[in-house]
């Protein structure tokens, strides 16, 4: 990694927010009263396309006065070129040279030039050294353990001055070359224009801009001489088009250039575009180094998969297996890591799913079927979501949905029908057993953490994210209360569940409190928790761990599914990361354990779920996946008792069908995906 990679990470991480309880900050404010970073802004802006700078009006350099900056942040600047516009998916970073945090804080004394920016401190966030608002100096950034560089830089005045003079070169230096030794003045000056590989890549990426910038000093002449010595090339007389094949061939001194490019390619987007014009000159050339070859294979694979949609399922499976072997190597190429091989990346989970769906999940009884599903078969559902999430444009989405429609949807229907057959003959395995004793939730310093719609495969994803956050988590399963709707099933996993019952004349599947008959509403739930000694924590509130128990709600996957429908897979990971952030904050606040529970899972299909006939006039209550019949109404569909009053019989939609058509996502019925839910216990690794 280069030193600047650490800077990019720190700046972007300062804008992190929990999407479950926050809106994104409007901007990251970077104050630099002593202008230590200003000389390196041209380089930093190349690595941070979302970076803006306060200064004179120079839009081509993403620099301008306060009013212009406000308009750029708001996206209202007319005539902005693609190079000048900000990335749509990034939070803007605003560099303020010569400005301190207190300059913006004192609004009544704020200069007229800064006044338009003052309000951003309330809508944005700061990149600051500490909570007191001290600016990050270059020296503190390089040495602070929080950053990760931990460079040992001499503190004398000459070395600190040299640090600022060579900052542009230092930022693009390899971090490992600077670590593990004391950096003195001579070490820093040796960096000035001293890395021919870094200089060559910078010039190849933006030849005109770099030449113009370096010609303002003697650096251009130095670079030309340096390149002649290192590569036998004079940039002053060479054509870029003649050098790009040398980079791709990676022979002689250009091998080291290619290796460095491989490590830093994400920061050389213009060079990557130029390399698309380079084709291998020999049959023995390594295709992995040519984006032209990768693009050719991507187009060929896209055409093959598009045609495959019209084949029989057996043919699809055979071709997917062979294609996956053929294109596996490309997933290891540089271009895949840069997002330039989407079809090759999509092919891997699609091929795995193809194998897992060859045979529907069976079993002689529910226990056996559930055991198989818990051990491995849940991966099939997760793979289907992965495939759809990897589809990066509408054409890919259509192909992915069509192939999943032939491989995954019939498998899902067969598995669900078999499970419903077993439930009809053996009874639903959850029943009243869903209500665990309230004592199970009363461990010392434990948060009961509710995530709406955390399906089993999502529970495993959450486990993986928790491990990445250096947390310990264990997972077990529990059966959802029926019907698998939030109105019924959420109440069953709360500490108040033993206090609830259901009325026979129910028309919304919501239980009531046995004592007094109050409906299980948000108001009465919070009141009941308080009376039972539980803290109800909202927003960022981490409560008081010493009081022993608390309830938290975060990560509404169910609402996300109802809103996003077919595109749900693209938003799941973001939601789960918000859950992890909330769990981390609770454990950091002193809670010993976080006990994650959920109400139900769900069905998702790449195509609209089929419709089952059940006329509305026959029902007292009808939802997409379940209904209550009127009076003595009869139905051949599976019927199960309502969890809160077994005398109420609930009619379940057959297979994966809906009584109300039109959705790709829904729940409330009987299937492994809806009913077998995860339960996680999370703690710090050192506890």
Alpha carbons 485 and 321: distance in angstroms, whole number: 38
DSSP symbols for 165-191: HTHHHHHTSBGGGTTTSEE-HHHHHTT
Q: Are 201 and 257 in contact (CB under 8 A)?
A: yes
Tokens of 543: 């409560």
User: Could you tell me which residues come within 8 angstroms of residue 89 by beta carbon, excluding any fewer than 6 positions away?
Assistant: none
124-141: pLDDT as tens digits: 999 988 766 789 999 999
Min mean pLDDT across 65-79, 482-496, 528-542 is at 65-79
Mean predicted confidence (pLDDT) in 635-664: 94
Reported pTM: 0.86
DSSP symbols for 335-379: HHHTT--HHHHHHHHHHHHHHHTSS----SSHHHHHHHIIIIIHH
Mean predicted confidence (pLDDT) in 263-276: 93
If residue 534 lies in a helix (H) or strand (E), which one and from where to where?
Answer: none
Axis crossing angle, helix 342-356 with helix 378-390, rounded to the nearest 10: 160
pLDDT > 70 fraction of the chain, expressed in percent and rounded: 96
Q: Please tell me the predicted confidence (pLDDT) of residue 296.
A: 97
Tokens of 286: 């390594």
pLDDT band at 556 (very low <50, low <70, confident <90, very high): confident
Q: Please tell me the predicted confidence (pLDDT) of residue 294.
A: 97
User: Residue 468: pLDDT above 80?
Assistant: yes
Mean predicted confidence (pLDDT) in 13-27: 83
- Torsion on CA atoms 260, 263, 266, 271, rounded to nearest 10: 20
Mean predicted confidence (pLDDT) in 402-407: 98
Q: Please tell me the predicted confidence (pLDDT) of residue 80.
A: 64
Taking the CA atoms of the chain, what radius of gyration do you get in angstroms? 30
Tokens of 218: 């003697």
Min mean pLDDT across 223-237, 428-442, 568-582, 647-661 is at 428-442
Q: Are 546 and 445 in contact (CB under 8 A)?
A: yes
Alpha carbons 643 and 480: distance in angstroms, whole number: 9
Q: Please tell me the predicted confidence (pLDDT) of residue 621.
A: 87
Min mean pLDDT across 403-417, 476-490, 615-629, 651-665 is at 615-629
Mean pLDDT (the chain) is 92
Q: Please tell me the predicted confidence (pLDDT) of residue 16.
A: 85
- Residue 591 has φ and ψ, to the nearest 5°, of -70, 140
Mean predicted confidence (pLDDT) in 109-137: 86
Which of 614 and 347 is assigned the larger pLDDT?
347
Alpha carbons 446 and 683: distance in angstroms, whole number: 10
User: Residue 438: pLDDT above 80?
Assistant: no
Tokens of 166: 């060579």
Min mean pLDDT across 624-633, 645-654, 667-676 is at 624-633
Alpha carbons 396 and 376: distance in angstroms, whole number: 27
Alpha carbons 91 and 72: distance in angstroms, whole number: 12
DSSP symbols for 21-48: T-PPPS-EEEEETT-TTGGGHHHHHHH-
Q: Please tell me the predicted confidence (pLDDT) of residue 674.
A: 98
Burial group, residue 575, by CB count within 10 angstroms (0-12, 13-18, 19+): buried
Quote the DSSP letter at residue 38: G
User: Residue 245: pLDDT above 60?
Assistant: yes
Alpha carbons 473 and 463: distance in angstroms, whole number: 6
Quote the DSSP letter at residue 215: T
């Amino acid at each position: 990694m280069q030193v600047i990679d650490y800077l990019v990470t720190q700046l972007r991480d300062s804008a992190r927010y929990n999407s479950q309880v926050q809106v994104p900050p409007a901007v990251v404010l970077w104050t630099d009263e002593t202008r230590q970073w200003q000389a390196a802004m041209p380089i930093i802006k190349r690595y941070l396309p979302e970076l803006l700078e306060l200064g004179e009006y120079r839009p081509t350099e993403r620099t301008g006065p306060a009013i212009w900056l406000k308009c750029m942040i708001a996206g209202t600047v007319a005539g902005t070129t693609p190079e000048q516009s900000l990335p749509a998916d990034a939070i803007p970073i605003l560099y303020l040279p010569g400005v301190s945090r207190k300059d913006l804080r004192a609004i009544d004394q704020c200069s007229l030039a800064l006044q338009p920016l003052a309000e951003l401190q309330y809508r944005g966030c700061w990149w600051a050294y500490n909570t007191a608002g001290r600016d990050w100096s270059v020296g503190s950034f390089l040495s602070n353990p929080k950053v990760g560089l931990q460079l040992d830089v001499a503190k004398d005045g000459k070395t600190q001055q040299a640090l600022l003079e060579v900052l542009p070169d230092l930022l693009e230096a390899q971090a490992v070359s600077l670590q593990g030794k004391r950096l003195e003045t001579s070490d820093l000056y040796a960096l000035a224009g001293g890395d021919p590989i870094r200089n060559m890549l910078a010039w190849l990426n933006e030849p005109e801009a770099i030449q113009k910038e370096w010609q303002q000093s003697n650096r251009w002449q130095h670079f030309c001489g340096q390149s002649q010595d290192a590569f036998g090339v004079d940039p002053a007389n060479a054509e870029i088009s003649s050098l790009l094949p040398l980079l791709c061939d990676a022979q002689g001194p250009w091998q080291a250039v290619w290796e460095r490019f491989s490590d830093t390619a994400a920061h050389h987007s213009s060079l990557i575009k130029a390399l698309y014009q380079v084709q291998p000159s020999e049959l023995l050339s390594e295709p992995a180094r040519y984006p032209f070859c990768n693009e050719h294979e991507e187009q060929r694979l896209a055409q093959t998969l598009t045609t495959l949609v019209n084949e029989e399922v057996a043919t699809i499976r055979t071709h997917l297996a062979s294609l996956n072997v053929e294109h596996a190597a490309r997933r290891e190429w540089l271009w895949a890591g840069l997002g330039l091989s989407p079809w090759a990346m999509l092919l891997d989970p699609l091929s795995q799913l193809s194998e897992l769906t060859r045979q529907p999940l069976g079993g002689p009884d529910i226990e056996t079927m559930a055991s198989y599903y818990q051990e491995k078969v849940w991966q099939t559902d997760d793979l289907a979501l992965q495939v759809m999430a990897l589809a990066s444009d509408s054409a890919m989405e259509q192909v992915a949905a069509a192939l999943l429609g032939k491989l995954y949807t019939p498998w899902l229907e067969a598995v669900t029908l078999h499970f419903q057959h077993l439930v009809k003959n053996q009874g639903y395995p959850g029943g009243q057993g869903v209500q665990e004793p309230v004592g199970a939730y009363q461990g010392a310093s434990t948060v009961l953490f509710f995530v709406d719609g955390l399906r089993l495969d999502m529970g495993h994803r959450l486990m993986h994210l928790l491990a990445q956050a250096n947390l310990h988590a264990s997972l077990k399963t529990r059966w959802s209360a029926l019907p698998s709707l939030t109105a019924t099933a959420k109440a069953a996993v709360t500490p108040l569940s033993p206090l609830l019952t259901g009325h026979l004349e129910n028309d919304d599947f919501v239980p009531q409190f046995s004592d007094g008959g109050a409906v299980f509403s948000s108001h009465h739930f919070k009141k009941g928790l308080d009376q039972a000694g539980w803290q109800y924590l909202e927003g960022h509130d981490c409560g008081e761990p010493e009081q022993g128990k608390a309830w938290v709600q975060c990560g509404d996957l169910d609402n996300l599914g109802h809103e996003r429908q077919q595109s749900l897979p693209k938003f799941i990971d973001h939601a789960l990361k918000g859950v992890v952030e909330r769990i981390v904050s609770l454990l950091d606040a002193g809670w010993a354990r976080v006990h994650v529970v959920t109400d139900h899972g769900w069905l998702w299909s790449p195509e609209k779920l089929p419709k089952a006939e059940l006329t509305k006039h026959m029902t007292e209550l009808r939802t997409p996946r379940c209904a209550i019949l009127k009076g003595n109404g009869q139905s051949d569909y599976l019927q199960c008792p309502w969890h809160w009053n077994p005398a109420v019989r609930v009619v379940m939609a057959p297979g994966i069908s809906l009584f109300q058509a039109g959705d790709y996502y829904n729940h409330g019925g009987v299937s492994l995906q809806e009913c077998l839910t995860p339960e996680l216990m999370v703690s710090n690794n050192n506890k």
